[in-house]
């Protein structure tokens, strides 16, 4: 790196790009250091598809209104109040102005995707998904003169008193040391480092699948935390969903999700049910099932449905396991057949009148006298062929991260680090204490990416 730079942005996903673009528009010379090779650039943003957005009246693809209070209430519900209300409100309020900004910087939206109509009011979907957003931002950034290095792995940031003096990265087999005026960290969580996950979760974590990029290994996060930079969040908290157990270890992305749980019973490896499968519509429940499955023996669950439910949910990427009897299905799935038969019979006997069954609404078709109950969509599992899927915990991103203030600035010992900002998943734990709200990760990344870029540029321009 011979040309001088003002700002180093570590990471190459949505938050990093929003920061880089904002800083470059403020006149700063920006360098993006992206660990991944070009085809895998963009971190987890590559797999995203929407942006949760507050709005008063129709905005872009969004219908009606979605107020700050309603948005916050949704967040409070999923996090059980474990959030920083000030930062949460900042993210929510700023989201409204982000949407036109995103469009102005190349992002294109579309009406809600089929199968996600329940989100038409709250979430704006990217045409082509997150990778198209990432592509558009790289085009915009490069047109603004932002330089991008792929396969540039940052290994260390040198903290001296209250500032980052320099940073080290390797590229093309060589180590480089640069001293930018400002540094933005937007390099995600640590979920791809399964050893770190195992330290937090215990050996069970080795059975987790990582839904997104294999490059978010928390190297920079660990380096900064080791030097005393303030941390936030619980290392066991993360965005985790239950996904198809046959998904690849890394990078399976959206297609590995299964939407059949509300129409099923889910059992563990002993063929025992363990939670109310019909508690709420799937978009509001998919994010708790990752933890539910993680708590079961061998961190695995098995979804059982029958023929009448097969077409009620989005097609799966891997075909379901199929058998004409429950016993055969149990055999094929490695479950104890007698136990499965007993569990299904018990469930079927607890089902009542199913005439009100309605697959897309809470229909109140519930079991009676069963523990745990199934409180909606409870229809007996009787029609062959029977179908099964295995479920595993799929981690999207971890919440342990860098604590930031409303200017996205990091701190050490209650003092701000004068030239260090963080954005995106690496600081999302500041707002998400637990749980997850669909599309909120992109909101946090966009809002705090822009703030970090603006602050980093102001600092660089003033020094």
Partner 1 sequence: MQMQPDLIQEARRQAEICNACRYCEGYCSVFPALHRERAFADGDITHLANLCHNCRGCYYACQYTAPHEFDLNLPKALAEVRQDSWKAHAWPRPFAELFERSGVAMAAFLTLSFALLFALAQWMRPEGGEGFYAFMSHSLMVAIFAPAFLLPLLTLVVSLRGYWQSTGAQAVRLSDLGDALRSAGRMRNLEGGHGDGCNFEDEDRFSHARRHAHQAVLYGFLLCFASTSSATVMHYVFGLEAPYGFFSLPKLLGVPGGLLLTLGCGLLAWLKTRADRDLGAPRYWGGEMAFVLLLGAVGATGLALYAATGTAAVPALLALHLGLVLTFFLLTPYSKMAHGFYRLAALTIEAAKVRKTGA
User: What residues make contact with partner 1 under the rule CB under 8 A?
Assistant: 39-40, 46-47, 49, 108, 110-111, 113-115, 126-132, 135, 139, 248, 251, 253-255, 257, 311, 314-317
Which residue, 4 or 319, is less far from partner 1 as judged by CB? 319
Q: CB of 177 within 8 A of CB of 166? A: yes
What kind and span of H or E run contains 372?
Answer: none
Cα–Cα distance for residue pair 294/289, rounded to 1 Å: 8
- 364 phi, psi to nearest 5 deg: 70, 10
Q: CB of 98 within 8 A of CB of 440? A: no
Instruction: Supply angle C-alpha 447, 450, 454, rounded to 5.
Output: 140
> Closest distance between partner 1 and the C-beta of residue 448, in Å?
23
**Percentages of the chain per state (helix, strand, coil), in multiples of 5:** 35, 25, 40
> Closest distance between partner 1 and the C-beta of residue 47, in Å?
5
> Closest distance between partner 1 and the C-beta of residue 214, in Å?
11
DSSP notation for 328-341: HHHHHHT--HHHHH
Cα–Cα distance for residue pair 184/7, rounded to 1 Å: 7
Which residue, 106 or 380, is less far from partner 1 as judged by CB? 106
Which residue, 112 or 398, is less far from partner 1 as judged by CB? 112
Please give the biggest Cα pair distance in the chain: 74
> Closest distance between partner 1 and the C-beta of residue 129, in Å?
3
Which residue, 247 or 410, is less far from partner 1 as judged by CB? 247
> Closest distance between partner 1 and the C-beta of residue 232, in Å?
29
Q: Ramachandran region of residue 347, left (φ > 0), alpha (ψ -120 to 50) or beta?
A: alpha
> Closest distance between partner 1 and the C-beta of residue 243, in Å?
11
> Closest distance between partner 1 and the C-beta of residue 307, in Å?
13
Q: CB of 452 within 8 A of CB of 182? A: no
Which residue, 213 or 376, is less far from partner 1 as judged by CB? 213
Which residue, 29 or 47, is less far from partner 1 as judged by CB? 47
Which residue, 166 or 317, is less far from partner 1 as judged by CB? 317
> Closest distance between partner 1 and the C-beta of residue 208, in Å?
18
> Closest distance between partner 1 and the C-beta of residue 150, in Å?
13
Which residue, 36 or 205, is less far from partner 1 as judged by CB? 36
Which residue, 133 or 457, is less far from partner 1 as judged by CB? 133
Where would I find the beta strands (DSSP E) of 286-398? 300-306, 321-323, 386-398
Query: Token match 């933005």: residue?
Result: 184
**Cα four-point dihedral sign 238, 243, 245, 248:** negative
Number of H helices, E strands in the chain: 10, 20
Where would I find the beta strands (DSSP E) of 139-246? 147-149, 153-160, 163-171, 174-178, 182-185, 209-210, 231-232, 238-244
């Amino acid at each position: 790196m011979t040309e001088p730079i003002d700002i180093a942005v570590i990471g190459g996903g949505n938050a990093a790009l929003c920061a880089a673009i904002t800083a470059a528009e403020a006149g700063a010379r920006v360098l993006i250091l992206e660990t991944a090779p070009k085809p895998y650039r963009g971190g987890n943003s590559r797999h995203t598809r929407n942006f949760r957005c507050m709005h008063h009246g129709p905005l872009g693809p969004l219908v009606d209104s979605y107020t700050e209070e309603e948005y916050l209430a949704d967040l409070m519900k999923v996090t059980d109040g474990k959030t920083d209300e000030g930062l949460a409100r900042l993210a929510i309020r700023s989201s409204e102005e982000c949407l036109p900004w995103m469009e102005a910087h190349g992002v294109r939206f579309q009406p809600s995707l089929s199968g996600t109509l329940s989100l038409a009011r709250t979430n704006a979907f990217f045409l082509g998904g997150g990778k198209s957003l990432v592509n558009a931002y790289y085009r915009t950034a490069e047109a603004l003169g932002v330089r991008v290095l792929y396969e540039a792995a940052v290994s260390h940031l040198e903290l001296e008193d209250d500032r980052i003096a320099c940073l080290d990265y390797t590229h093309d087999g060589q180590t480089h040391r640069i001293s930018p005026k400002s540094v933005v960290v937007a390099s995600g969580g640590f979920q791809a480092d399964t050893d770190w996950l195992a330290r937090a979760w215990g050996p069970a974590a080795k059975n987790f699948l990582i839904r997104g990029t294999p490059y978010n290994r928390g190297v920079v996060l660990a380096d900064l935390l080791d030097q005393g930079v303030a941390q936030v969040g619980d290392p066991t908290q993360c965005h985790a969903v239950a996904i198809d157990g046959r998904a690849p270890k890394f990078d399976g992305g959206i297609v590995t999700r299964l939407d059949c749980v509300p129409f099923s019973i889910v059992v563990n490896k002993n063929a025992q049910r363990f939670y109310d499968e019909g508690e709420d519509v799937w978009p509001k429940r998919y994010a708790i099932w990752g933890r539910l499955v993680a708590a079961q023996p061998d961190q695995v669950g098995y979804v059982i449905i029958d023929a009448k439910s097969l077409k009620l949910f989005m097609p799966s990427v891997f075909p379901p396991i199929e058998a004409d009897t429950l016993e055969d299905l149990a055999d094929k799935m490695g479950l104890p057949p007698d136990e499965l038969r007993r569990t299904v019979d018990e469930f079927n006997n607890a089902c009542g009148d199913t005439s009100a069954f309605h697959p897309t609404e809470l229909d109140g078709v519930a079991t009676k006298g069963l523990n745990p109950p199934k409180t909606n969509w409870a229809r007996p599992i009787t029609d062959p062929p029977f179908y099964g899927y295995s479920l595993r915990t799929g981690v999207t991103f971890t919440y342990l991260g860098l604590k930031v203030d409303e200017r996205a600035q990091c701190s050490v010992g209650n003092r701000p680090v004068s030239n260090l900002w963080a954005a995106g998943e690496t600081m999302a734990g500041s707002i998400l204490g637990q749980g997850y709200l669909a599309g909120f990760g992109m909101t946090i990344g966009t809002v705090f990416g822009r703030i970090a870029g603006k602050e980093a540029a102001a600092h660089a321009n003033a020094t």
